[in-house]
């Protein structure tokens, strides 16, 4: 085993006072290691298509035809490996010619840039020095595994497959390790890793016949690429990394479709695991435009599964369990003790050590649908509504992870541009019957996580250690829905969902000019419709239960002393659920909609700055909004009978406490906080034209925005001042009923808490225009409840209400000798 890549033991005291201890990257296996003293192949590209086909059958009028099995791999490697050798030889000749010209130009640039950096920046950190245009690498690893298994197609004849067990595995590609330290245009890496598994399995299609796929299993486990490591310390335009990483499996599994026939897919399992790439490591210490890292991990499974469609026939998809899992970038070990996705450094560098990382973890998931036109379709249950035959779906998408850099003594270095997005899009467990019967029953579990904590350090820098992050966490989904037109439709759904985008953001700005600033704009917004039933001329029933946790961003922490325009925080956390559930509507039919929602939505967190003995530093601006919009437990009947009932448990939080100091400073440690906690809800509402409608709701809602503010302007000028604008209130219409000639009943229990802002404390002792507080607290409440209106029918409205709005809090300040 070679040890040239081994780094020494490192320690780091991160914001919050936690001491972390760990070792750097260990050496790779000798056969995979890349010696920086040897010229590297400039380009390594491959496309691999593993194929697994088996246990498929077609039914014909002459009998069943079992299709042949195919197991083979199509790859471009025989061609690309040959081209790679030729390219390396040609590249070596050109590098020698171009290097002599580029070296002279780059040397002048490096001398000027180094002179612009602080004196303590002028020291080397690497014993190895790359030549001009040495060690640049390009790698493209794309794998598209195709699995087609356990499918039955009946074309004017019966087809049946059962007991199939197909397992497809692939592990290929490689990481990239190179070195451009001390070089010019050296050690740069473009590394593309992409896994696109395609799985078509366990499906049944009946056209003029009976198709059956039962008791089968299909799995794919795919991994391509690995970790990327380079070094641009002391170099010019060296050690930069661009690394798109994708894991986007496509699943078409466990479906049943019939047209003038029968189709049955039951008791099957399908699973896909896809992983691409790995951690990204570089170093731009003492460099110019060096050690910058751009990682683009995308986890996006696309799924159509466990659905049943029937046209003048019967289709059943029951007791099936598909589960995709995607991870476009596996964490490795950096200089911290936790697993690291991306790490670099820009200490004493110029425009070096920057991290750019859009990270996407999502899915497009359609499953558990039942549709019947002149037939019978069941997804997850039969006509007997068995509680044991439901389909299950489990999806996991994870992209990126913890990342860190630094810019100690640098200029325009150590910047973090972070854009994690965790946003599944799903539609499932819905039934529609048109002159037919449709039923759906399923359980859904989804986990989507994009990014994690970030840390940088702008100590003694000029415009270094800046963090700009725009995390977005949420979902768009519809589930547990039923609709009928001269038919029947039943849907029952349960869901558990965890969505997390980004996390804590930390920096420092001690002794810097414009260093260690943080801009955080987290948004958390689940958008959903569930537990709704509608019937034109028929009978519909829908029931849905969910438990959901959506979070975006986290705490923001930066600190400095003796700095200028440093360690300021701007945060705009928005927590905005938009939900409609437990609804029913009927023309001339019957519709019942029931739902239970337990949702926690969080954006941002606590914000900490410090600007002691500084100028224009440690200021905090927080604009936070926690304002859920919800409609639930509402029912309407034109000439039919409808019932709606809903339970709502909602907790929405945006932002948190503000903690900073501007003691002994000028224009530092000031806080401006505008926070809004204002739920808007309509529930327990019944409306009838000629029919009969009943609506019930039970609501427990909490909304929190902002928090306490603590600062200090003692001994300062224009420091430690606070401007607060908290709004805490509620808007609601609930427990009301309206009818024309029919019967309408609305009943609601309402318990709402809305708190915006909190206690404020500052100090202006011995200061000038310091330690002042200006606060405008607003508590708006607008509610209509327990009312009934009728023209020539019957209406009954009832409500029980407890609403607690709160804005601002006590204020404490002091101005002795000020």
CA dihedral (514, 764, 660, 21) positive or negative:
positive
User: What's the whole-number mean pLDDT along residues 502-507?
Assistant: 97
Lowest-confidence segment of 149-158, 379-388, 497-506, 661-670 by average pLDDT: 379-388
C-beta of residue 626 within 8 angstroms of C-beta of residue 618? no
Q: What is the DSSP letter of 89?
A: H
Angle, vertex CA 591, rays to CA 585 and CA 596, nearest 5: 90
Kind plus residue range of the DSSP H or E element containing 805: strand 794-807
Q: Is 458 a residue whose pLDDT tops 90?
A: yes
Structure tokens at 656: 């948190």
* pLDDT for 19: 21
- Percent of the chain at pLDDT > 70 equals 86
Taking the C-alpha atoms of residue 17 and residue 19, their distance in angstroms, rounded to an integer, is 6
Taking the C-alpha atoms of residue 47 and residue 77, their distance in angstroms, rounded to an integer, is 7
Strands (E), 512-619: 518-520, 523-535, 539-552, 556-559, 569-571, 574-575, 578-586, 590-603, 607-608
- Neighbouring CB atoms inside 10 A of 140's CB total 18
User: What's the whole-number mean pLDDT along residues 602-612?
Assistant: 96
Structure tokens at 612: 């002691």
Whole-angstrom distance between the N-terminal and C-terminal Cα of the chain? 67
User: Which is nearest to 117 in space by CA: 412, 399, 437, 326?
Assistant: 412
Q: What is the pLDDT of residues 93-122, one digit of tens each?
A: 554 454 444 444 445 544 443 443 333 333
Confidence of residue 83 (pLDDT cuts 50, 70, 90): low
Judging by beta carbons within 10 Å of its beta carbon (0-12, 13-18, 19+), is residue 7 exposed, middle or buried? middle
Q: Is 140 a residue whose pLDDT tops 70?
A: yes
- Model-level pTM? 0.88
C-beta of residue 285 within 8 angstroms of C-beta of residue 345? yes
User: What's the whole-number mean pLDDT along residues 411-434?
Assistant: 97
User: Which is nearest to 140 in space by CA: 192, 211, 205?
Assistant: 192
3-state secondary structure of 112: helix
Spans of all domains in the chain: 33-118+127-174+185-382+391-503, 531-818
Q: Is 24 a residue whose pLDDT tops 50?
A: no
Q: Is 664 a residue whose pLDDT tops 90?
A: yes
Confidence of residue 391 (pLDDT cuts 50, 70, 90): confident
C-beta of residue 478 within 8 angstroms of C-beta of residue 423? no
- Percent of the chain at pLDDT > 90 equals 81
* pLDDT for 41: 54
Strands (E), 655-793: 658-659, 671-677, 680-688, 692-705, 709-710, 722-728, 730-739, 743-756, 760-761, 773-775, 781-785, 788-790
Confidence of residue 744 (pLDDT cuts 50, 70, 90): very high
Taking the C-alpha atoms of residue 807 and residue 173, their distance in angstroms, rounded to an integer, is 57
Q: What is the average pLDDT value for the chain, to the nearest integer?
A: 88
Q: Is 36 a residue whose pLDDT tops 80?
A: no
Lowest-confidence segment of 91-100, 685-694, 716-725 by average pLDDT: 91-100
User: Which is nearest to 771 in space by CA: 628, 633, 661, 697?
Assistant: 661
Confidence of residue 380 (pLDDT cuts 50, 70, 90): confident
* pLDDT for 326: 76
C-beta of residue 429 within 8 angstroms of C-beta of residue 392? no
Residues 6+ positions from 105 with CB-CB distance below 8 Å? none
User: What's the whole-number mean pLDDT along residues 743-770?
Assistant: 97
* pLDDT for 321: 73
Taking the C-alpha atoms of residue 127 and residue 283, their distance in angstroms, rounded to an integer, is 14
* pLDDT for 131: 79
Q: Is 584 a residue whose pLDDT tops 70?
A: yes
Give the alpha-carbon dihedral of 111, 113, 119, 125, to 10 degrees: -80
Residues 6+ positions from 384 with CB-CB distance below 8 Å? none
Q: What is the pLDDT of residues 317-338, one digit of tens each?
A: 987 777 777 777 655 555 544 6
The DSSP line for 223-278 is EE---EE---TT-BS-S-EEEEEEE--EEEES-EEEESSEEEEES-EEEEEEEE--
According to DSSP, the residues that pair with 556 across neighbouring strands are 505, 607
User: What's the whole-number mean pLDDT along residues 421-448?
Assistant: 96
Confidence of residue 86 (pLDDT cuts 50, 70, 90): low
CA dihedral (59, 62, 64, 68) positive or negative:
negative
């Amino acid at each position: 085993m070679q040890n040239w890549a081994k780094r020494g033991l490192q320690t780091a005291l991160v914001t919050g006072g936690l001491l972390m201890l760990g070792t750097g990257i260990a050496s790779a296996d000798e056969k995979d290691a890349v010696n920086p003293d040897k010229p590297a192949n400039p380009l390594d590209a491959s496309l691999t298509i593993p194929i697994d086909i088996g246990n498929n059958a077609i039914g014909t009028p002459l009998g069943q035809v079992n299709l042949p099995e195919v197991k083979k791999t199509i790859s471009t490697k025989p061609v690309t490996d040959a081209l790679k050798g030729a390219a390396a030889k040609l590249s070596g000749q050109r590098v020698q010619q171009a290097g002599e010209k580029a070296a002279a130009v780059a040397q002048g640039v490096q001398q000027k840039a180094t002179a612009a950096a602080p004196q303590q920046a002028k020291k080397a950190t690497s014993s190895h020095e790359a030549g001009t245009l040495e060690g640049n690498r390009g790698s493209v690893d794309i794998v598209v595994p195709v699995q087609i298994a356990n499918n039955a197609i009946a074309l004017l004849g019966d087809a049946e497959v059962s007991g199939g067990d197909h397992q497809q595995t692939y592990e290929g590609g490689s990481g990239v390790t190179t070195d451009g330290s001390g070089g010019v245009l050296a050690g740069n890496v473009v590394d593309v890793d992409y896994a696109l598994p395609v799985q078509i399995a366990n499906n049944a299609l009946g056209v003029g016949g009976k198709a059956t796929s039962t008791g089968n299993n299909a799995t794919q486990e795919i991994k391509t690429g690995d970790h990327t490591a380079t070094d641009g310390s002391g170099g010019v335009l060296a050690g930069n990394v661009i690394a798109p990483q994708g894991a986007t499996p496509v699943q078409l599994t466990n479906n049943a479709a019939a047209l003038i026939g029968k189709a049955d897919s039951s008791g099957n399992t399908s699973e896909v695991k896809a992983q691409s790439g790995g951690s990204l490591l570089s170093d731009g210490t003492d460099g110019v435009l060096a050690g910058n890292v751009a990682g683009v991990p995308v986890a996006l499974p696309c799924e159509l599964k466990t659905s049943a469609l029937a046209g003048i026939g019967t289709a059943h998809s029951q007791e099936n369990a598909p589960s995709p899992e995607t991870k476009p970038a596996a964490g490795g070990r950096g200089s911290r003790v936790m697993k690291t996705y991306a790490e670099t450094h820009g200490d004493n560098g110029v425009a070096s050590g920057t991290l750019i990382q859009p990270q996407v973890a999502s899915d497009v998931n359609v499953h558990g649908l039942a549709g019947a036109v002149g037939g019978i379709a069941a997804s997850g249950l039969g006509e007997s509504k068995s509680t044991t035959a439901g389909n299950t779906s489990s999806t996991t998408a994870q992209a990126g992870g913890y990342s860190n850099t630094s810019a100690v003594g640098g200029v325009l270095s150590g910047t973090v541009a972070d854009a994690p997005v965790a946003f599944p899009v799903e539609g499932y467990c819905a039934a529609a019957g048109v002159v037919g019967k449709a039923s759906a029953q399923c359980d859904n579990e989804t986990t989507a996580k994009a990014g994690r904590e970030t840390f940088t350090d702008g100590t003694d820098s000029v415009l270094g250690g800046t963090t700009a992050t725009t995390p977005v966490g949420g979902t768009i989904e519809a589930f547990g829905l039923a609709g009928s037109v001269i038919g029947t439709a039943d849907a029952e759904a349960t869901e558990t969902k965890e969505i997390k985008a980004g996390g804590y953001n930390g920096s420092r700005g001690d002794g810097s000019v414009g260093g260690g600033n943080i801009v955080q704009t987290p948004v958390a917004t689940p958008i959903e419709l569930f537990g709704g039933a509608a019937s034109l001329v028929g009978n519909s029933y829908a029931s849905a239960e969910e438990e959901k946790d959506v979070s975006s961003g986290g705490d923001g922490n930066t600190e400095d002393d003796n700095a200028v325009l440093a360690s300021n925080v701007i945060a705009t956390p928005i927590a905005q659920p938009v939900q409609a559930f437990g609804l029913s509507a009927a023309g001339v039919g019957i519709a019942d909609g029931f739902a239970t929602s337990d949702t926690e939505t969080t954006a941002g967190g606590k914000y900490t700055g410090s600007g002691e003995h500084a100028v224009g530093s440690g200021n905090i601006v927080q604009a936070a909004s926690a304002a859920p919009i919800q409609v639930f437990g509402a029912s309407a009947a034109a000439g039919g009978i409808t019932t709606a009932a809903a339970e709502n448990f909602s907790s929405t939080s945006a932002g948190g406490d503000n903690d900073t100091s501007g003691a002994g400073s000028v224009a530092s440690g000031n806080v401006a906080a505008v926070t809004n906690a204002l739920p808007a809800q309509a529930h327990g509402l019944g409306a009838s034209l000629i029919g009969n409608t009943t609506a019930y709701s039970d609501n427990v809602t909490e909304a929190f925005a902002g928090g306490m503010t603590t600062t200090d302007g003692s001994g300062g000028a224009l420091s430690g001042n606070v401007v607060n604008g908290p709004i805490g209130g509620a808007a609601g219409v609930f427990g009301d009923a309206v009818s024309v000639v029919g019967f309408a009943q609305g009943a609601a229990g309402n318990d709402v808490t809305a708190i915006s802002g909190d206690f404020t404390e500052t100090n202006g002792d011995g200061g000038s225009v310091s330690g002042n507080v200006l606060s405008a607290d607003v508590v708006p409440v607008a509610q209509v409840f327990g009312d009934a209106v009728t023209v020539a029918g019957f209406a009954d409205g009832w409500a029980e209400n407890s609403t607690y709005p709160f804005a601002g809090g006590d204020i404490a300040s002091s101005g002795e000798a000020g």
